[in-house]
Amino acid sequence: MLSFTTTLKELEEKYLKREFPEYKSGLISFGSNDYLGLSQHPEVKIAAIDAIHQYGVGAGASRLISNHELYEKLEKKLAKLKDTESACVYGSGYLTSIGVIPTLVTKGDIVFADKLIHSCLLDGIKLSGARLFRFNHNNIKHLEKLLEQHRKKFNNALIITETVFSMDGDLAPLDEIYRIANKYRAYLITDDAHGLFSKSAPAHIKIGTLSKAIGAYGGYICGSKEFIDYLINKSRSLIYSTALPPAILAASIKAIDIIQSNRRLCELPIKKARIFLPKAKSQIVPVIIGNAKKTLKIQNDLKKEGFYIPAIRPPTVPSNSSRLRLSFTALHKDDDILRLKKCLENI
Ligand SMILES: *Cc1c(COP(=O)(O)O)cnc(C)c1O
């Protein structure tokens, strides 16, 4: 029999028990992935409200039963932004991962994935039944060694990595990985969940989310028209789940319009991050503490100073690498960033 009590107690003893954080207004949050502040943008809000007035709230059915006209508009914009022939929107980034990967590989195939990829990509790989090899984080030499050793014994091969790593904020060497992927006849899938839509990096298949920098909700994949036609026929999380609410599609469309008409907006989050840490590689800056208990204590101390910073613990990050994950957005005030920096230095 499963014992919920034992499991919860064990987690608690290791300082690894998770709880939804208490909602506290008034704290300055460095925990949001709404990097461009678009979830709060007046024009995005109006687009969503107008869509509710025009179309209602829920979508009512899956896309294959009733496909809203706003999907086509949004997908055209995404394909253009990502420099691909076509795009397809899913219910979320998670649903994109678990829906796409199993259509590409199965038993007898092989996946090479960076050691730090997001759990939803791992779930997609698990569902596919393909054999998985992990390469050391951003380590091209290790990836190539694994390809050299194992590629030949399998049919299809995938390489999976992230553009901007969600918990570390560093960037994958995509030009090199793409070159190696072609050399070994492997498809490269990149997850751009934390990308800011400022530039498009090489990959055969690009996935991402509308739930972070776009400020709305949903996931997407960009690739060839033929591949997307294939997904419409084969991808289970696309076929067997209700379509997104029209208001979310309208908000995403408006958010992309805003990004395209104001390219400098996408540069703001990293500028903010560099006020905190001049050598920040992206808008995500981890402050690695190591020990889970200590990380929670510092989180709590910062709360008393008026800051909300998420404490990220295993299994989201490797053991002994518990951290405060700071994410900087276009809306942060420089003074608040400087005060946070001072508080952390004192702690
Ligand atoms: C957040 C995230 C996802 C999931 O996207 P959702 O739209 O939140 O489901 C996928 N991949 C990475 C790397 C993420 O950080």
Q: What is the pLDDT of residues 225-268, one digit of tens each?
A: 999 999 999 999 999 999 999 999 999 999 999 999 999 999 99
- Is 211's C-beta closer than 6 angstroms to any atom of ligand 1? yes
Are 51 and 249 contacting, i.e. CB atoms less than 8 angstroms apart? yes
Ligand 1 center–CA 153 separation, angstroms: 32
pLDDT bracket for residue 140 (50, 70, 90): very high
- DSSP secondary structure, 31-68, as one string: ----TT-GGG-HHHHHHHHHHHHHH-SS--SBTTT---
Q: Provide the percentage of residues in the chain whose pLDDT is more than 90.
A: 96
Q: Is 66 left (phi over 0), alpha (psi -120 to 50) or beta?
A: beta
pLDDT bracket for residue 308 (50, 70, 90): very high
Edge-to-edge strand ranges of the sheet holding 205-209 = 86-90, 219-223, 205-209, 187-191, 157-162, 110-114, 131-135
- For residue 237, give the nearest of 142, 100, 143, 340 by alpha carbon: 100
- For residue 130, give the nearest of 156, 152, 162 by alpha carbon: 156
pLDDT bracket for residue 116 (50, 70, 90): very high
Ligand 1 center–CA 125 separation, angstroms: 15
pLDDT bracket for residue 23 (50, 70, 90): confident
Ligand 1 center–CA 209 separation, angstroms: 6
What does pLDDT average to over the chain?
Answer: 96
- Is 162's C-beta closer than 6 angstroms to any atom of ligand 1? yes
Lowest mean pLDDT among 120-129, 191-200, 301-310: 191-200
